[in-house]
Amino acid sequence: MTLWENYRNVCFIAPFAPPPWPAYAIVTAWNPASRWLGMRRNARRQRALSRQLADALVMGPVWGSDPDERWQEASLLLRLPRAEAIRLAARFGQNALYWVEEGELWLVPVLLKGAP
């Protein structure tokens, strides 16, 4: 399975219902470029991401997971423009982000070259 296919095969675990926002991003700071950094470094990166969000409406954390829940990454739901979410994800070295619009989940390439 390719990296992009793995990204497409995600489920999200959250202790709350999806927000009523018309559109929002799901962004993480964990494992830039899909390289495992370890729990402590990932937690520090996620805190740094949270500090960047002074003007955004934020819900979270949510956990992006594989269907078996063996792999999980902390993420945040962010109500901000798509272009701003892409810039933020790029700043944290992310290959992609998830975008939700009118209830539809989209996988959006950020740094991953050759993604559809």
What would the pLDDT profile of 76-88 be if each residue is shown by its tens digit? 999 999 999 999 9
- Name the nearest CA neighbour of 79 among 59, 104, 105: 59
Return the domain boundaries, the chain.
3-13+21-109
Can you list the residues of the chain whose pLDDT is less than 50? Answer: none
Q: What per-residue confidence (pLDDT) applies to 115?
A: 62
Q: What per-residue confidence (pLDDT) applies to 57?
A: 80
SS3 51: helix
Q: What per-residue confidence (pLDDT) applies to 38?
A: 94
pTM, two decimal places: 0.92
Amino acid identity, residue 56?
A
In terms of Cβ atoms closer than 10 Å to its own Cβ (0-12, 13-18, 19+), residue 82 is: middle
Report the C-alpha dihedral over residues 109, 111, 114, 116, rounded to 10 degrees. 0
